[in-house]
Amino acid sequence: MARQGTGIDVGMRSAIAVRGAYKGGTFHVSAFSAGEHAVSETADAWDTLDPDFKLTNARIGLSGRDVNVRYTRVPQVPDWQLRRLMRFEVEEVGDQSGADVASDFNLLPSLPELDGEDVVLLAMARTALLDAHEEGLKAAGGTLDCFSPNAIALYNAFLRYGVVQDDTVLIANIGHDNIDVVITRGPDLLFARNLTGGGRLMDDAISQRLGTGGEQAEKLKRQLATLRPDGQYDGANQEKVSRAILAAGGQLLSLLQSAVLFCKTQVKISTLSIDRVLICGGGAQLDGLCSYLSSGMHLPVELFDPWRVVDTSGLDDESSAELEQFGLRSVVALGLATMGSDPEAYSLELLSPAALKKREFFGGQVFLWAAALLAVAYLGYFAKTSSAATADLESSYRVYKGELDRKKDADDETERLLVLNGELAQHAAELQRIVGAGEQLARTLEVLGTSLPSDFWIKRLQGRWGVDKELGIDDREDRPLILLEGLQRPGSVSPVTQYQELREQIETRLENVRVVSSYDASKGFSFDLTTFAPEAPKPKTDETDQEDA
């Protein structure tokens, strides 16, 4: 019997659960539930999910600012060495963010363009986000399987239920606050990422243009807004609302185009070109969006509806009607349920530290503890029945105690050397910052040389030492800073988008950079940045608090 899986996608406008099993080349849905809301907190979003079935073996989707999917190119090494490399990568990110991070990684399919190297897809998420979802699942009476990035669920939905050919396809799930993007070449995953942006861009544009509240703006968007390129409107109200979202539509288009450029940079395939685009999610329901994106990207753009090849005969009439309403918004949940049911699915599985320890215990450690107890019982029986063996054990004890004392001395010497090494490392870091001030300026110039929009020019670029609390540098120690100011050509096209792309390039290409920037249509733009900000302090744990007490 095929394993049942539950996929749950909880966003800022809907909460969706799909349950079923993958067998016979398709997914057989046994239960479906969805709810709409307008909240800003994950815990509140869970309150709208009220299914009439058990959320067992639940795989929960992750997206947003607290989720990071990145690529790492590594030499082809053994699995144990790869795990160590990824652990170092995760620890570095956790130290920089000052927050606990859960992670998992998986290899991407071998790329012919990369000879002798592997590309690792590494997913990380703040444990605070995982804890919030776990509390919501517990309140709903469910049991957790794991967490997975929405982009990976989207890839599995396309791979199992999409039209997979030899072409290169961009698939985007457009939510309210985020866009999950994957790029595939044939059946192979090339790129996965979550972007900030989505339907909220349209709502904010309508609110600003027409002076309405957020809920009213969203209602107007659903009822009247269109991005049809023919410019034909059914009345003055539709024209007002539609014209209000044109700039936001351009931002959405730019996000998808920048994802393609970023993919080329990440996987080092400069000749990569997209053949077609598929979109889903609540934002994909906007009238005329497919035509608008197709016109801007010069590619065919279609809605991605995997439910056409999914067996939904097990649903009752009410659930079927609900699925019909939420079909485009349920693609990620379908992909998550497929991953939970199909052991062959490509997967990234994140767990909080507590859940990970529980899985490891019941997955193997409980048997080790049982074996240890049996061993102790056997040794006790053996010691009572054999005095000769007891004498041998006492002799061995003396030998091992002497060896332990020698190793303890070596450990003390190692601790001393570690302290000395830390002091030397501190001196080396100070020298590196001094030398790195010039390198920081040179790297900034290099980024500007290749990424500065043609409509922008620099009027001031200054390197200096100082403090900047917005960049996390207080008055205890000066650090090298960069001040960048510039203007844009009057009448330039989408200056805000160009400014946002410039900021993204700076954040992407300058390692460990912190940026504070601003943009004003009349005054131009400015960036305060540094790559030498101190690491954020680690939060105190319960164990540390006890030691301080």
Percent pLDDT > 90 in the chain is: 52
pLDDT surpassing 70 at residue 338: yes
CA angle 20, 26, 29 (to 5 degrees): 25
Mean pLDDT of 530-537: 80
Query: CB neighbours (10 Å) of residue 31?
Result: 20
Region of residue 210 (phi > 0: left; psi between -120 and 50: alpha; otherwise: beta): alpha
pLDDT surpassing 50 at residue 79: yes
Best-predicted range by mean pLDDT among 87-91, 116-120, 337-341, 421-425?
Answer: 337-341
Domain boundary among 303, 330, 353: 303
pLDDT at residue 106 is higher than 80: yes
Mean pLDDT of 204-212: 92
Tell me what pLDDT residue 548 has.
53
Q: How far apart are CA 203 and CA 428, in angstroms?
A: 51
Task: Please report which confidence band the pLDDT of residue 543 belongs to, taking 50, 70 and 90 as the band edges.
Answer: low
Measured CA to CA in angstroms, residue 429 lies from 11, 39, 441, 482, 535 at distances of: 43, 45, 18, 19, 13
Please say which residue of 303, 330, 361 terminates a domain: 303
Q: How far apart are CA 177 and CA 136, in angstroms?
A: 20
pTM for the model stands at: 0.66
Position 197 in a domain: yes
Identify the CA nearest to 307 among candidates 150, 161, 181. 161
Q: Is residue 259 part of a domain?
A: yes
Separation between Cα atoms, residue 344 and residue 210, nearest integer Å:
50
Distance CA 500, CA 527 (A): 12
* pLDDT exceeds 90 at position 458: yes
Range of the domain at 169: 163-303
pLDDT at position 382 over 70 = no
Where does the pLDDT of residue 187 fall: very low under 50, low under 70, confident under 90, or very high at 90 and above?
very high
**Residue 97: pLDDT above 80?**
no
Asked, for residue 281, whether it belongs to a domain, the answer is: yes
**CB-based burial of residue 405 (10 Å sphere; 0-12 exposed, 13-18 middle, 19+ buried)?**
exposed
Classify residue 99: in a domain, yes or no: no
**What pLDDT digit, counting tens, does each position of 33-56 carry?**
999 988 878 778 898 888 999 999
For 214-263, write each residue's pLDDT tens digit. 889 999 999 999 998 887 888 899 999 999 999 999 999 999 999 999 98
Residue 522 included in any domain? yes
* Segment 9-32 mean pLDDT: 94
Using CA atoms of 231, 235, 238, 244 in order, give the dihedral in degrees to the nearest 10.
70
Instruction: Look at residue 549 in the predicted model and tell me its pLDDT.
Output: 47
Per DSSP, 167 falls in state S
Does residue 402 or residue 524 have the better pLDDT? 524
Cβ-proximal residues to 168 (8 Å cutoff; 6+ apart), any chain? 183, 184, 185, 190, 272, 273, 274, 275
Asked whether residue 391 is domain-assigned, the answer is: no
Q: What CATH number is attached to the domain comprising 229?
A: 3.30.420.40
Residues of the chain with pLDDT > 70, as a percent, come to: 90
Mean pLDDT for the stretch of residues 71-90: 86
pLDDT score of 5: 94
Determine how many CB atoms are found less than 10 A away from the CB of residue 154.
Answer: 31
Distance, CA of 218 to CA of 285 (rounded, Å):
13
Tell me the pairing of strands 188-196 and 178-185: antiparallel
pLDDT in tens, 59-69: 999 999 999 99
Distance CA 352, CA 131 (A): 7
> Is 275 within the bounds of a domain?
yes
Mean pLDDT value across the chain: 87
Q: What is the CATH number of the domain that holds 452?
A: 3.30.1360
What is the per-residue pLDDT for 410?
A: 86
Q: Which contiguous run of DSSP H or E holds residue 433?
A: helix 387-451
Query: Does 444 map to a domain?
Result: yes
> Which residue, of 303, 336, 357, is where some domain finishes?
303
Lowest-pLDDT range, 1-5, 18-22, 186-190?
1-5
Tally of domains within the chain: 2
Please report the pLDDT score of residue 392 as a whole number: 73
